[in-house]
Amino acid sequence: CHSVVSVKPQLHSVSFPVAEKKKTELCQELSLQARDLRFQHSTSLTARNNCIIIRMASLKAILTPQSLLVLDFRGLGLDRWLVLELAPQLASQSHSLPFEFRALEAVLQHKLNTLQTRLNDVEPVILDTLESLVDPKILSADRSKLHILLQNSKSLSELETDIKVFKDSLLKILDEDEIIEELCLTKWTDPRVFEESSLGIDHAEEMELLLENYYMQAEELGNKTRELKGLIDDSESVIFINLDSHRNVMMRLNLQLTMGSFSLTLFGLIGVAFGMNLTTAFEDDPRAFWLVTGFMFLGSGLIWRRLLSFLGRHLEPSILRPVRKTLSSVCFSYHSKSLHRSVHAVSSL
Amino acid sequence: CHSVVSVKPQLHSVSFPVAEKKKTELCQELSLQARDLRFQHSTSLTARNNCIIIRMASLKAILTPQSLLVLDFRGLGLDRWLVLELAPQLASQSHSLPFEFRALEAVLQHKLNTLQTRLNDVEPVILDTLESLVDPKILSADRSKLHILLQNSKSLSELETDIKVFKDSLLKILDEDEIIEELCLTKWTDPRVFEESSLGIDHAEEMELLLENYYMQAEELGNKTRELKGLIDDSESVIFINLDSHRNVMMRLNLQLTMGSFSLTLFGLIGVAFGMNLTTAFEDDPRAFWLVTGFMFLGSGLIWRRLLSFLGRHLEPSILRPVRKTLSSVCFSYHSKSLHRSVHAVSSL
Amino acid sequence: CHSVVSVKPQLHSVSFPVAEKKKTELCQELSLQARDLRFQHSTSLTARNNCIIIRMASLKAILTPQSLLVLDFRGLGLDRWLVLELAPQLASQSHSLPFEFRALEAVLQHKLNTLQTRLNDVEPVILDTLESLVDPKILSADRSKLHILLQNSKSLSELETDIKVFKDSLLKILDEDEIIEELCLTKWTDPRVFEESSLGIDHAEEMELLLENYYMQAEELGNKTRELKGLIDDSESVIFINLDSHRNVMMRLNLQLTMGSFSLTLFGLIGVAFGMNLTTAFEDDPRAFWLVTGFMFLGSGLIWRRLLSFLGRHLEPSILRPVRKTLSSVCFSYHSKSLHRSVHAVSSL
Amino acid sequence: CHSVVSVKPQLHSVSFPVAEKKKTELCQELSLQARDLRFQHSTSLTARNNCIIIRMASLKAILTPQSLLVLDFRGLGLDRWLVLELAPQLASQSHSLPFEFRALEAVLQHKLNTLQTRLNDVEPVILDTLESLVDPKILSADRSKLHILLQNSKSLSELETDIKVFKDSLLKILDEDEIIEELCLTKWTDPRVFEESSLGIDHAEEMELLLENYYMQAEELGNKTRELKGLIDDSESVIFINLDSHRNVMMRLNLQLTMGSFSLTLFGLIGVAFGMNLTTAFEDDPRAFWLVTGFMFLGSGLIWRRLLSFLGRHLEPSILRPVRKTLSSVCFSYHSKSLHRSVHAVSSL
Amino acid sequence: CHSVVSVKPQLHSVSFPVAEKKKTELCQELSLQARDLRFQHSTSLTARNNCIIIRMASLKAILTPQSLLVLDFRGLGLDRWLVLELAPQLASQSHSLPFEFRALEAVLQHKLNTLQTRLNDVEPVILDTLESLVDPKILSADRSKLHILLQNSKSLSELETDIKVFKDSLLKILDEDEIIEELCLTKWTDPRVFEESSLGIDHAEEMELLLENYYMQAEELGNKTRELKGLIDDSESVIFINLDSHRNVMMRLNLQLTMGSFSLTLFGLIGVAFGMNLTTAFEDDPRAFWLVTGFMFLGSGLIWRRLLSFLGRHLEPSILRPVRKTLSSVCFSYHSKSLHRSVHAVSSL
């Protein structure tokens, strides 16, 4: 049992009689077959026995030459559309063409607005998320943003499919002139109105223009979604390069420090050796302490410097030279100057 | 030798006489050629000598104007379909169109249900697996889930191929009006029934609508599989970014600790130096121990701090600042306060 | 100069007279032009002056209404095919259609078998290689297997191209009814045989069915290669995720150990400090040794524990908790129990 | 209310009368319908009632047999085009074809120039950026360059869409001969001029050539953008391989140093052992110090060497051998020669 | 002003009169329009007023029924082609078809040879580079080879575009029978020659065969470039897996060494503790030194072993077991045997 609102244009207004009708009643009334009102596909637009049967997702409608019957309109946000948008569009008399043109235009415009709205919802979120994800300062991708991106690119895929289905259903009609002719209801039902209203205007041609117009608008939407998908792909590449770059920079720093630690360990071994409880000839030489200590620090510094320059030559860096310089300057200031002064320097950091 | 069940609709029921027939017998009976019953392709639908020969994967059937012969129906799950689904569909008299329409619809619906079932099997598993794989908390991808994903995306590819083959076989018929005419068996065999049943109904047009309907349903299935494939691709990118991000965060922590170790080793060398069995002037100075020890800890702390801030400036982090702060606060609390109090603090963690 | 075997079906056998003929002789005999026998394209099937000129890779053949001439058949594995497969196929009298149908079917079947054999060679190798490469237990991809995979996916690409070329050459014929008519040699050369053999059978239609049949079989092969290519792509993604996961797990373990080393170094510095040859107040305090040693081990243990729990909270692990626990339990058992007992425990591992 | 400039060619010059007209005035003047002047699509070219209505992005124009009306031309950079380019093109009398051909050519050329300019803006930036990003010496990708690349590949996608839309709008006309006929305004309005100007020239054919020419130029632009996109993809792969290679080289160096540190720590333990305040038999042996110290350095050197050669065999390196040699030669020179001489050597680096 | 060579076949030779002609002269001579000689597109083949105007990249030619005019032939490598290849091809009398066929064939063959040469230049370089890049022994990709690969895959893309453009220009002709008719110049200009030369030969059909032949050869070239592109993609995946595998192996080795260092540091702390200048009860116990030293080495060895087996179980390795064994056997041989004997063993490596 369907709740049916039949939108009928009157002289200056539009009436909205609502009725509860059974499917069979509807069929009898419009002399359609039960099969015609199954609305099996999510998007369809077919002419049957001087009615146009339309389904655009949640909107199910039957268009007769006199009225537009909207089925199951409750609770799907269609109520607002019926009153706020459909009524004014159908009431406007500016249109020189018969009712079915105005009604079909309203329905297709509604579908296109729905698609556009979905794109408008998804696009800024994706652009914002990508903007913050490709930020080169970011060391690691924000995980919640990745989740948002995934959700929205899923929505985008669904939108893409829906646009494609909408385009295909229009294209199928545009490809067959007979179906276009069938869609011009007034031409067949009311020859008098047809002749009057259309002095020199070919209804079928007008219908083709109307459908083509919406086809091209859907195509533009489709182009936008495709560009957005491409942008997501490109951005993902940039995110990967960014993360990899950060990793390389950190690995280089790590390697530089490992080189330093290696040098210190190597020369520290001398200190360890002199710390053994074994007899050396230097126990009582007062200069030995300073000589060996100096050699330890100086030697490890020089080896580190040599390793760093080896790494520098090996990787031929371009940006990272300063890093190395900063590090080694920090380090060498400790043994070239006296210890007291360097303590001073450090405490003033 | 084939086991053949010939499903014949009767007044209010459907009979299922089962017989074992040789291929040659079948050919003679239906005046077909041996070649016609080879069923070479996994999906085919052809009209031959007033019979429709159908193969849909495991289902091999010959449709005559009076009955539907199902071949080799045993052991393939077709028995249940025959009794539970096919019989009611064929017995229903609501359909105003002749037998071959009802039978063809039943067969195509069976095929579509099979495809839909396969998608329904695969889809939730893939969605669940992806859901748990893109979980940003996960440090490493669960290997068993990857295996499940691979298995299911293989099934999805096969399903995609089968949907494509099904669509192509329908499209081939829809593209040629002659074949559609041939499929309307009653029109040619029983003109009386044809005239009676179809007042104003064009059988060929009805057949086209029927096939088109299933074509569009298959298209919808195809769209869903394509979206699912896209989702897998998108999710894989997100998994990679997640794993890379985790790696970068860990590498940063590692680098921060390496910096700490480096500082400690550098200043530890002073301790090692004073541990050597060599003569220094400070052996008996009671303040020397505290001065040198303090210098070791303080110096390494300051150098670490300087290295961390260098890293901070170098990578311009945004999220990870707290990490550094936590670490250095943990560390500095040890030498700025007395040792006893920090032991206290640590034991209260 | 070509070696030509002309396969002629006789009453119950097939004769194989072999001859060496010049190109010009061949042309004169069959009234063809020199240009027609250039066999420029790797796959072609053309009708010329009541002959069908066929090239399928290495197989070059001219089909006349009475015989099939195979050119340059030596040394290409064609000999075996000629005797073992072609002869029986041509000799069989079951076929109600004239000679050119049987010969064409044999040639196309030969081509299809070649393609199928190549797929059968490549498919199991690829499946096996992928199976072992996506094994989640593997830490690093086996390099020899990667090489095998690359070789086989190259073969697969070549096979894909060959299937496409074969399909295109059939499609080109199927798209033009005139060419199909020309291929029915008997129809034009021997009207008497034509009338006799074909009561109610349209040769052109039969030819179309024959070609379509092979087209669809080639399409099925093409679908399989495409699925295989998709599987390779999917598996590569899984391999990458696997390798990345392993890396993350190892990096986490490494980080946990670095944290341990850092803690030990930090508190080891205290030991180093007390090892300096400087005067402290504790030299003779017998408890000092145990207090400081205990503090060293306990302190580093606690700091490590704190760092591990920080890492745990930071990365929110799900699987790796046990690892941490195992590690820390190993570690803490050393300083919470007496040294002698832990030595006991370790030696019983 | 539109500002309209109507460009009319005169004997040797072009006049530019500017007027402010309402949409309705325009419609009346040209007997068009309001709907025709909505300019809904970003690119359109339609013939209506002996006018050609053109929209090419910001350029909105109506072409009548006598003049070209450009709408809303202010502030969009169209002014310069009108005076500097359009005027000379329209004034030139060399063209033997009527006015609408010259005007249409000017408009299409303007569109094509716009597209070409956009490509010329984007191409060198992309090539430069890629050139510097794929530089193998670079350790980490320059982040600002990645940003530039992303911006420009987005522009490239938009340009690709616009070229596609332009091509589609031309193709739609080229596919329908009727529309081409309608575009030849003079043919229908001024038969006398038509006959005079075109002795033996078919206007429709000329129009087709003109449109085809611009279609092919747009195709060439499209090919260039596609090649550029492919180059970006290929370069990204190379960048990834570069970054990965650098990482592997650094990781190998790091591993080599870790091996060194491990060896030093292992043998340093001996020194630590001898440093314990425990009684050994060697305290007073004057050779013991040198023996143990020598063993420490020599042992760690040998173990390191063994580990390096193990790594060498394990990874079968080809390029990195020198690295290992350099490192170990640096290291071994320290204990094979006397300490004083090596200090000499180091200070001369 | 163009330098024009007009190649005219004579009885047994070909004459090459060279002339400098203005565009207008050329137009008058051949009664063409200025527009026809603009050669705007890089590849075009059009019939105009009984001339065929050809542009194939640098080759610009006008084919009349009697001669082939090659324009601007100097300095582009066309001179050699004119003398060495074109002349013999045009002079050969074997061809039974009129001059324009021979000339067109020569021009198309020239174009195809150019394309083939470019592929032959690029293919071996790409195959070689890939061969050396996917070498599993390579730790890091050779950067110069990556550069070569990038250069060549850019060339390959350009070649692909050119092949596509060439194919499209032939296809455009093949799709329209009228254009093919127009290309048969002799048929229209010299009916007598036409009748004489072509007894039973349809010129248009011959022309179609000729163009189709070159179309198919271009298609084969296109297939090869596509396969090559696929091979590059597949190889890049293998390179990535290779690099990642190497990294994992190195990271595992690194982790194993870090485990060793950790164990040594942990037990080295005991040595450090005993090295403190604090009173222990063991100072004078002669066994204490050996006990503690033994415990240090043994303990760290056992902990390392335990950590390695933990890692082994955790990652379930398959190939790397030997590595671990080698490492631990190296290590354990040091404390299970006497020190002197292990020195022996090491020095014999």
Interchain proximity A260–B261, CB inside 8 Å: no
Q: Which two three-digit tokens encode residue D146?
A: 């990645």
Please tell me which residue of chain B has the smallest CA distance to A254.
Answer: B255
Interchain proximity C284–E281, CB inside 8 Å: no
Interchain proximity A249–D139, CB inside 8 Å: yes
Could you tell me the CA-to-CA distances from E109 to C335, E6, E56, E164 in Å, in that order?
86, 19, 11, 16
The neighbours of chain B, by the rule of 3 or more Cβ pairs under 8 Å, are A, C
Please tell me which residue of chain C has the smallest CA distance to B295.
Answer: C273
Q: What is the mean pLDDT of residues E177-187?
A: 87
Interchain proximity D257–A262, CB inside 8 Å: yes
Distance from CA of C94 to the nearest CA of E (A): 38
Distance from CA of C309 to the nearest CA of B (A): 11
**Substitution target from E250, E290, E298 for chain D, most D beta carbons within 10 A:** E250
Interchain proximity C241–B236, CB inside 8 Å: yes
pLDDT of residue A323: 37
Helix intervals (H) in chain C: 23-29, 78-80, 87-91, 99-133, 143-174, 177-183, 185-189, 191-197, 203-275, 286-315, 321-336, 339-347
Distance, in Å, from the CA atom of A204 to the CA atom of A201, rounded to the nearest integer, reads 9
pLDDT tens-digit profile of B167-213?
Answer: 999 999 999 888 998 898 887 777 776 666 555 667 888 899 899 99
Interchain proximity B139–C252, CB inside 8 Å: yes
Please tell me which residue of chain A has the smallest CA distance to D154.
Answer: A231
Which residues in chain E touch residue D216, judged by CB atoms under 8 angstroms apart? 40-41, 44
pLDDT of residue E212: 92
Nearest to B286 among C230, C279, C310 (CB): C279
Task: Give the containing element (helix H, strand E) for E6.
Answer: strand E2-9
Which residues in chain D touch residue A255, judged by CB atoms under 8 angstroms apart? 250, 253-254, 257
pLDDT tens-digit profile of A60-94?
Answer: 999 988 888 888 887 777 888 887 888 888 776 65
Q: Which residue has the tokens 């032959």?
A: E120
Please tell me which residue of chain A has the smallest CA distance to B267.
Answer: A264
Nearest to E231 among C141, C157, C275 (CB): C157
C-E C-beta contacts closer than 8 Å: 182
Which of helix, strand or coil describes residue B8? strand
pLDDT of residue E73: 80
Note whether A119 and A225 are within 8 A (CB): yes
Interchain proximity B277–A276, CB inside 8 Å: yes
Distance from CA of C123 to the nearest CA of B (A): 14
What is the percentage of chain A residues whose pLDDT exceeds 90? 35
- For residue B208, the one-letter residue type is E
Interchain proximity D252–E257, CB inside 8 Å: no
Least confident of B170-174, C37-41, C50-54, E305-309: C37-41
Q: For C19, list phi and psi in degrees, rounded to 5.
A: -140, 155
Distance from CA of B275 to the nearest CA of C (A): 4
A-D C-beta contacts closer than 8 Å: 181
Least confident of B14-18, C74-78, E46-50, E132-136: C74-78
Interchain proximity E261–C260, CB inside 8 Å: no
- Does residue B330 surpass a pLDDT of 70? no
Which residues in chain E touch residue D258, judged by CB atoms under 8 angstroms apart? 254, 257-258, 261
The neighbours of chain E, by the rule of 3 or more Cβ pairs under 8 Å, are C, D
Nearest to A136 among D147, D239, D277 (CB): D147
Instruction: Name, of A155-169, D99-113, E180-194, the range with top average pLDDT.
Output: A155-169
Which residues in chain E touch residue D269, judged by CB atoms under 8 angstroms apart? 264, 267-268, 271, 296-297, 300
A-B C-beta contacts closer than 8 Å: 181
Which residues in chain E touch residue C275, judged by CB atoms under 8 angstroms apart? 272, 275-277
Q: DSSP label at C36?
A: G
- Does residue C307 surpass a pLDDT of 50? yes
Interchain proximity C248–B246, CB inside 8 Å: yes
Instruction: Name, of A2-11, B58-67, D216-225, the range with top average pLDDT.
Output: D216-225
Task: Give the containing element (helix H, strand E) for E3.
Answer: strand E2-9
Q: What is the mean pLDDT of residues B3-28?
A: 82
**Substitution target from D129, D255, D289 for chain A, most A beta carbons within 10 A:** D289
* Average pLDDT across chain B, whole number: 82
Least confident of A239-253, B3-17, D226-240: B3-17
Answer with the residue of higher pLDDT: B349 or A133. Answer: A133
Task: Give the containing element (helix H, strand E) for A18.
Answer: strand A18-21
* Average pLDDT across chain A, whole number: 82
For chain B, the distance separating the N- and C-terminal CA atoms, rounded to the nearest angstrom, is: 82
Residues facing D318 on adjacent strands: none
Interchain proximity A244–D141, CB inside 8 Å: yes
pLDDT tens-digit profile of B30-84?
Answer: 888 877 888 888 899 998 888 999 999 888 999 988 888 988 887 777 888 887 8
The neighbours of chain A, by the rule of 3 or more Cβ pairs under 8 Å, are B, D
Interchain proximity B343–C299, CB inside 8 Å: yes
Distance from CA of A343 to the nearest CA of B (A): 8
Task: Give the containing element (helix H, strand E) for D15.
Answer: strand D14-15
pLDDT tens-digit profile of D247-279?
Answer: 998 999 999 999 999 999 999 988 898 888 888
Q: Which residue has the tokens 């550094």?
A: B324
Question: Does the ipTM exceed 0.85?
Answer: no
pLDDT tens-digit profile of D124-175?
Answer: 999 999 998 888 777 787 878 888 999 999 999 999 999 999 999 999 999 9
Per DSSP, the residues of C98-165 read -HHHHHHHHHHHHHHHHHHHHHHHHHHHHHHHHHHHS-TT-SS--HHHHHHHHHHHHHHHHHHHHHHH
Which of helix, strand or coil describes residue C277? coil
Q: Which two three-digit tokens encode residue A3?
A: 């709740």
Interchain proximity A257–B255, CB inside 8 Å: yes
**Substitution target from B35, B38, B134, B139 for chain C, most C beta carbons within 10 A:** B139
Distance from CA of A122 to the nearest CA of D (A): 18
Cβ count within 10 A of residue B125: 14
Q: Can you give the length of chain C in residues?
A: 349
Q: CB-based contacts of D298: which residues, under 8 Å, 6+ apart?
A: D335
Interchain proximity C249–E315, CB inside 8 Å: yes
Interchain proximity D259–E257, CB inside 8 Å: yes
Distance from CA of D291 to the nearest CA of E (A): 11
B-C C-beta contacts closer than 8 Å: 181
Note whether D136 and E143 are within 8 A (CB): yes
Interchain proximity B278–A276, CB inside 8 Å: no
Q: Which residue has the tokens 């207008």?
A: E24
pLDDT tens-digit profile of E197-209?
Answer: 555 668 888 899 8
Helix axes D143-174 and A203-275, enclosed angle (nearest 10) = 160
Nearest to E251 among C40, C247, C257 (CB): C247
Distance from CA of C295 to the nearest CA of B (A): 8
Interchain proximity B138–C295, CB inside 8 Å: no
* Average pLDDT across chain E, whole number: 82
Q: Which two three-digit tokens encode residue B13?
A: 């029921």
Q: Nearest-CA neighbor of C71 among C21, C34, C29, C25? A: C21
Interchain proximity A292–B272, CB inside 8 Å: no
* Largest pairwise CA distance in chain B: 129
